[in-house]
Chain A
Amino acid sequence: MMSLESIPIQAFLIVSSALFCIGIWGLLNSRNAVRVLMSIELMLNAVNINLMTFSSFVDNNLIQGQVFAIFVITVAAAEAAVGLAILLSLYRNRVTVDMESFNLLKW
């Protein structure tokens, strides 16, 4: 076995790719609207892992990727708050969280 100085960058990238694809699968297949929001959070976390990996391996002196990750975390928090508020008002109007019944904009 060859000796490593550190964990290879590919390992982090593969974990983040897998997390992103699981998030997309959940986004496409969930019936429950809360689970859709959770899948979006998973995808945002995958993107964050990517940013942090490149920040650590490619740009480890200026670490601009970490600043980007902090902005992504900020936007994700805002998105979660607004998304759950929209979900609450949807639930109040339709008394369900089933994604299939939110078809008002369907053509």
Chain B
Amino acid sequence: MSIAITTQIICFTVLSLIIIIGALGVVLLESIVYSAFLLGGVFMSVAGLYLLLNASFVAAAQVLVYVGAVNVLIIFAIMLVNKKEDLKPINDIKSRRIISTSICLTLLSLLIRVDLTNVWNLSSPQNSIGEESTVRIGEHLFSDYLLPFEVASVLLLMAMIGAIVLARRDVMSKDISTGLPVDQELIEKSSEPLLTNKN
């Protein structure tokens, strides 16, 4: 990359601060809508990190797929299921919090220790192909990664059909349990939930 090292360090610091603070906001904020939009910011900053790593194609794919598709999907899901509800209190919530936080901090310290103490066998930077990475990825996808590439297309088709089948309201013309004809209109009506807790 032909950017001066000082600029790179400034960009990296800003991007990683946005990533860490945004991720903390995603998991800690009370409102789920704020979380969803912060998640979009985190995805954009991760794309910025990819640009710092000389990977313009993957950065573009990250913006298109994560910000353009996954994040929009999450926001739509929030719109569809956003109901204000009072959550039932859990009696041992404090011990759960303590245990999970200590597990996460232990894992984090372990990972950081590995990151800092391991001696990495880095390759020389003059070997870098830099901006030709898009061409190289295309070559990989159509030569030695051809089978995973085709399998990925089958996976996407399966996911698409599966999502449609799962999210569709009524697939059958008759209700299985009651035998009554199922109404096929597009407007959601209030119906008796099947599995609600009796208590």
Contacts and interface: CB of A to CB of B under 8 A. Distances in A.
A3 B5 CA distance: 9
Contacts of B169: 92
Interface in A74-101: 74-82, 84-89, 91-98, 100-101
Instruction: Give the residue among B49, B116, B125, B158 with the most A Cβ atoms within 10 A.
Output: B49
Given A38-B36, A52-B55, A52-B58, A22 B85 contact: no
Contacts of A100: 87-88, 90
Contacts of A92: 169, 193
B133 to A, nearest CB: 5
Interface in A1-48: 3-7, 9-15, 17-26, 28-35, 37-39, 41-42, 45, 48
Secondary structure of the A contact surface, majority rule: helix
A38 B23 CA distance: 10
Contacts of B160: 81
A31 to B, nearest CB: 5
Interface in B75-96: 76-78, 80-81, 83, 85, 87-88, 90, 96
B22 to A, nearest CB: 9
- Among A31, A39, A95, chain B packs the most CB atoms within 10 A around the CB of A95
Interface in B12-30: 12, 16, 19-20, 23-24, 26-27
Contacts of A55: 53, 55
B60 to A, nearest CB: 11
B87 A67 contact: no
B111 to A, nearest CB: 4
Contact of A93 (B73, B88, B193): B193
B19 A97 contact: no
Interface residues of A, number: 82
Nearest to B141: A67
Interface centre among B23, B74, B125, B159 (most CB of A within 10 A): B23
A59 B127 CA distance: 9
Interface in A47-84: 48-49, 52-53, 55-64, 66-67, 69-71, 73-82, 84
Contact of B70 (A26, A76, A87): A76
Contact of B26 (A26, A59, A74, A95): A26
Interface of A: 3-7, 9-15, 17-26, 28-35, 37-39, 41-42, 45, 48-49, 52-53, 55-64, 66-67, 69-71, 73-82, 84-89, 91-98, 100-101, 104
23 contacts: A6-B8, A7-B8, A17-B112, A19-B23, A25-B27, A25-B101, A25-B104, A35-B35, A42-B27, A45-B66, A48-B46, A49-B49, A56-B55, A66-B55, A70-B58, A73-B58, A73-B61, A85-B166, A85-B167, A86-B166, A87-B77, A93-B196, A98-B88
